[in-house]
Structure 1
Amino acid sequence: MDALSVVTHLKDLSSDPLNRTSIVKDKSCLAGLILFLSHQEIRVVECALKTIAYLCENPCHHEIMRNELGMMVSLDNIRNRHDIADEIRQVARNIHSSLKPPVNVYTPESNLRKTKHQFFISSSIKRAKTITLHIHGLDNVERKNILEEALLRVKGVISFTFQIAMKRCTIRVKSDLTTESLASVIAETRVLQAQQVIKNESGNEIYVPLPKTDLPVEKNSCLPDYLPEEESPQKDVEKAITCPGLKESSGGSWINTAANFLTKTFYW
């Protein structure tokens, strides 16, 4: 099975509104579609765009798709490409426009309400922050497990997700935990090194080297308990979870097939 076959079947599935929510909620399918947007073969790019356009028809999907790492940047790149047809670029423009967050309109009444409620809002309400790291050496599941174990032991880490194909790790931490501290913990693995991913003034992603800090990092004394294997809700991470509303005869099986292909191809 090649990339064009997978993205073509995903497009056919997404043409049915009953399948769209399952595709959007499947991280492998959504992230795979984003990677297809930068594929060398124009037919793959066009097919991925049409698939994403179908998924965008439901406004409830917009926030998930907008926040998926690389989505808006990839659409922006296609809009500015001159080696593809204007029709394809126009599709990318339409999707980019529909996914942009709504602009908040402030009226005197809304400003008054904000002033009234400000008494109850503490300046410490923002107690967490999100950090995106590029991890050198994160190229297989074994290294992912090493990084996972290291992060689980750091006090102040709330949650984290991986994108092995892009060697990315997105970490949500308490506001007092520094990025340099995370880099030091990752460096202690001796097989992984971290750089912070940020956007410059032009909106392009850049990697920022992180110096190793000598300050001690507070760690958890023990890891959290996990469910036994037979009670675990996810026994096989290689398989995509299909929502009950999906058509079992064709849709569900093909989403599983596509997700498995993307997982194995991009180490998701």
Structure 2
Amino acid sequence: MMDALSVVSQLRDLASEPQNRAVIVQDQGCLPGLVLFLDHQSPEVLLATLQTLRYLAELSPNVPTMKNELGMMVSLETLIGREGLSLDITSLAQEVFNILNAPPVPVPCSPEREKRKKSQFFLNSSNKKAKSVTLQIQGLDSTDQRSLCEQALLTVRGVISFTFQMASKRCTVRIRADLPTESLATAIAATKVLSAQQVVRNEAGQEVFIPLNPSGVKVQQNSSLPDYLPEEEESPVREVDRAISRTTAKEDSSGSWLNSAASFLTRTFYW
């Protein structure tokens, strides 16, 4: 039988896919189970739970539902004040709490301005699709290095969004479909203190690392940094080797994989 870490890790993998986030939050068993996991004694379970919540909160319509979930905000506050936890856990708990507690930000964006912003961010206006890449970043040891990495990624034209997992020194980056992954490595290597490898799964489902050689070609940069594009406006695609996050739930029209995972979570939570 799967243990708590296996269960929440599976849900985190599902939540890493943008198209799964609304379904997970709407499911009757997932959010209550995640709230229960926020009280778990295992640091690994706590971190995986917070990473899952952070993914889910990236979809703006999820935020009110998550905030209003019974026990969510109280559990996060308790976790923030809990002694003996790593900085990664308390910092991520605070980050999730702040996102859920922030007042809604109005987006007074006219269609004309939105069109102009998109055309600036995408070199080719017909290029509507994006892909997700998971990077293992050597040297990502502190918030200072994280800031360096953020600044490096923000300068690359074609980067849509990114999420850090500091405990595992990883960053999941959503990029335009035609942007070479090596461009990310080039930008990160330019910091002089960080380097990146791509994390993928092989046919056996095992994680493997692919070296990314910084290309000699100059990385195309944003002249001015645009706002991140909304997740729902992009359709994630995968390279042949696929990034670490899973796509089965998207490919299965019945959503059976996500449904079975949610059902298993519900059964596990109420033992």
Please report the TM-score for the alignment, with normalisation by the length of structure 2.
0.44
Highest Rg: 1 or 2?
1
**Which TM-score applies when normalising by structure 1?**
0.44
